[in-house]
Structure 1
Amino acid sequence: MTRQRSRLSRIAGRLAVGLVSAGLFASVLMAPPAVATPESDADAAITAAWETGGGETGPLGPKDGGVYPAGDGFGQNFASGKIFFTPDTGAHIVSGAILEKYESLGGPADSDLGFPTIDEGPGRAANSRNSTFSAPDKPVIFWTPDTGARVVRGAINQAWDALGGSAGALGVPSEDETTNGDVVTQKFTGGEISWNRKTKAFTTVPPELAGQLGAIEVPSDATSAIAAARRAAGGALGPLGAEEGAQYAIGADGVGQNYAGGKIFYSPDTGANVVTGQVLAKYESVGGPTGDLGFPTTSEADGGLTPQSRVVEFAAEDQPVIFWTPDFGAVIVRGAMNAAWQKLGGATGELGAPKADQTENGDIVSQQFNGGSISWDRAAKKFSTEPAGLQSQLAGLEVPGADAPQAPADGPQADGDSGKGASWFSWWWLLGLIPLLGVLALIGVAVLRNRRPRDGDHFGDGHFDDGHHDGEDPYERGYSGGYGDRYESGYPSRPEPAPYTPQSPWASAPPAESGTEDGDDYSGDDYADEYDSDEYDGDGYDGDGYDADDHDGEPAAERDVDADDLEELDAEQDAVLSFDDDPDAVDTAPTRIESPTAVIAPPQTAYEPDFPSGRHAAIQDDEPEDAGWTSMRLATGDRYRAPEGYPIKADTKTGLYWAPGSPGYRDTEAEIWFASEEFARTNGFVRAD
């Protein structure tokens, strides 16, 4: 029994040892291989390049630390240089003055050169070194002891190679490229090359070399163009500052790139151009590159004024610009306005800088400048100016984009979302109309209530009762109210017309012979004399209210008007005309109402301007409700002919007003008529001259 147990123990022990050995063997066979990583790949590639160059005994010397991330790739330091790696470019050596130049421009992480595509090596010129890089415009850094390390790239590099490179007529680069507007220039030891990105043409020094460059086709890609525009603007140390995010699409073929201090917009037709600050804010407020200004065709540049100004040109057919000054901000000048302004010397000419965007009244487009104004009649195709002496210089001037839109169109701003917010903006814009419609409905209700006849005593003085005078039949009275003969009194079924009743001097007079049909009715001093005459001297109307012979030669005593009525009317006129003279006076004079069929104008206090509030003068009619007249009237009829008693023209778009005799009065369309300049100023308007 003991022997049997011993045998079983030996068998169990052998089985256990076999299982353990099998498990260890299986774990070795099934162990996963080492997983490769981008860093391990970089380490292997860099080490191979180093060892190929001689390792520790080669020109780079021993390693100085391990592999580290560098931009989109990796790098490793050595005693006498560096090796940079990406899977696309491989591992390549850079050292000495070329490495210093490369890293001074930002190296692989922050420059626009990309990664080296070859090991640094000798150039074709004596004692020269060079290295090429991976950016789309194929830059090279070329070094000689005499000229130092210089970058040559893009169109200049293509032309230099075509002329023989460092072994050709131009020799080696002696300076880096410079940019002046649309022209990039680089100097070499044997001359220079210039490239105009707009005309796509080369010029050279000596000039005969340009004939060898006609067959060169310079490719245009967004990345290279944006990088060039940024370099021209000062790079990372310029106003654009650091890059923010990746490039994004705009429309079918446009591209944008955001920076901390502005944006660069690119299209194949316009190239890449820089816009910053308030010019950028104005541009995007009217839709940016997807608005009716189009893409910028120039980078933001000095506007030529002191102490400071900026200007950018855009691609729309009517050749718009945005011009910025500290005094007036960013203003759009386009079409006829821009053509005339440039003809007259632009910002440095007599008109100076633009003060506000152009305005339109029918066919008349106008714009105010620091030194005057320009107006363009689209129908007559004629300019007028202030000062008037400038007009002769614009005769025969061609207007670009005469059929193009004349007012900027709102649109979504271009951003990194590639315009996907446009739909969102449109829907929220529609929702924003809901409260506006509610306000307009309330205004409409208020207007209708004011138009509806009131029950009982309207004015609390007992003069009128339900639209009748002292309970008398209005047919007998024939009272027409304070709006003049434009509205007929009485009911249609009455066979006889209502007799004429004296009216307020502020009401519109019957269209009698005025002597103004000869075309001079708005000519300067003639109207000013009428306005300044004794007829409105604050002492009532012509001294004693109504002269007995003022109306059609018929004495007042022969009309169907009681003497008491005339006394009451005189009292009302005295109260109305003296209201402005005493700031503490309260106008308690009763306001006459129309007979039942008279058309009453909507109360001016309910007027809401249809332009954006806060930009121009706000219209406020502070006259008492029962005064019988208002300080202003809407220009609903002839916008040039002043209603009787309302000689002041005002324009809500510009916030300006014109008095008779002031420059531009005759040619200006009124949106609102005011009774006096004081009323215009009270409502926030500024005299045009």
Structure 2
Amino acid sequence: MGTRGRGAPRWLRGAVAAVTLTGALLVPGQAAAEEPAATPEVTATPEVTASPEAATADEPAHREVARGAEPAGPESAFAPVTAQGRTAEAGVPTAVEDRYAALGGPTGPLGPVLHPIDCALPGDGCIGYYDQGVIVWSAATGARVIDDPEIYVAWVDAGAVFTPGAPGYPETDTFCGLRDDGCGQHFRAASIYVSDAVYATVVPDRIRAGWGAAGWEHALGFPTDDVVCGLRDGGCLQYFQSGTVYWSSYTGSWGLRSGPILARWGQQGWEWGGLGYPTSAEFCGLRGGGCGQHFRGGSVYWPPGRGAVVVPGVGSYRWAATGWEWGPLGYPTSEAFAQADGQYGQHFDGGSLYATVYGVLAVSGPIRDRWGASGWERGVLGSPKTEQFCGLRGGGCGQHFAHGSVYWSPATGARVVLDVFVSRWAAHGWEYGGLGYPTSDPFCGLRGGGCGQHYQGGAIYWGGAPGGWLGRGTAYAISGPILAAWAAQGWENGRLGYPMGDAAPNAYGVYQYFQAGTVTAGGGRTRITWH
């Protein structure tokens, strides 16, 4: 729909723009026509003829224009838009006549006069008819030339200046020199564009804003169909050669280029899906040559060599806070998924985002890898409850989860610390205390259902029973000579059993209670007293 091939080149289109100050009235990003090398002599009568043989099921018949020299009278492509009304009288604006004279009068690009100037247009506007165009004047817009017959016909068919929603008075002259031999013209409430590939089509101002923001015809091509409204929330769309522009009263007007982002947006339901309408134009030049676009309910990002991925709004805000694709998370590598509790989760190049009761939290690097190996949020640690924190002893990092923590250091790697050990480790000063960083993950299935974990400076063991007779919890730290003596006795499987409290000082050095005895260390000696 809306595309076609054209016949003979139309050398005269936009000639007025070359005679006047070329491009002075154009919107930024639009090209003006180059001045023709010479103005050929006009030799035949202009006609507008349908070409049904060129039509197909997808391509309706269209007008072809043949130009000529003799005044065409009523057969001109620039036929009057009204029955001849009030004509210009002395004192009625002479701007139309002045503009015509400035363009060279009958010997200029507009050719001879066809009809008297008609001042029956709304708002006391006037229009002058010439063999090769018209001059339209209003007090607000001045005298503007329409000299492309297809733009003129499209303007008239759209209501010209007579009906609500019509393009209104022209605000620029016709400008040409666009891609594909294209021409355009801006009006008060719309623009009209035509090229060798498409019909002259009206682009309403609400769509025009998004088309311009996307790069005009250089990015989306020319319009191929009229605007379509009645979308979600009263929105509208218009198709272009290389994309679509969508408008809603909530988001304004934004273009989507044909490609992975538009396709992915369509897959999730267009404007009716969770993303809703676009809220930005597509932007490229991102990390690695990627592109992205924001929508009311999230974003779509496309890294080269991969598919386009949706990042819902709940994730977009947190991802933005980490630096988007330039930050440690990089690009998304998965679509959003529901966690065990139904909340949002999504994986990225360098980490993951998880929504929790504490907010949307990032988990990245070796800590993310270790958490994943433990079963993600469905594993022993559960969901994250803090952001990752670094700058710890020896350049380490840590992160707390619902049922424990993961700590990483260059010397020890990433290790899980379950809640049953966290409180005891914290009581000993975390990684800055005598225990240092964990050197193993917790190991369970020990005697009586107990668990243990080794650290740089010792170990923590839990006997599997709640409480603790010293009232300090059920997991206890063991280190130094006492740890060596306990190990020599067979750890928890030996006669001593599990520790029943932390080590404490006495007159001989330090001592520690176990289920079946006490170990005392001091003066270079270690002694066991059985209960």
Answer whether TM exceeds 0.5 for this pair. Answer: no
Normalising by structure 2, we get a TM-score of 0.39
Question: Which structure has greater helix proportion?
Answer: 1
Question: Which structure has greater strand proportion?
Answer: 2
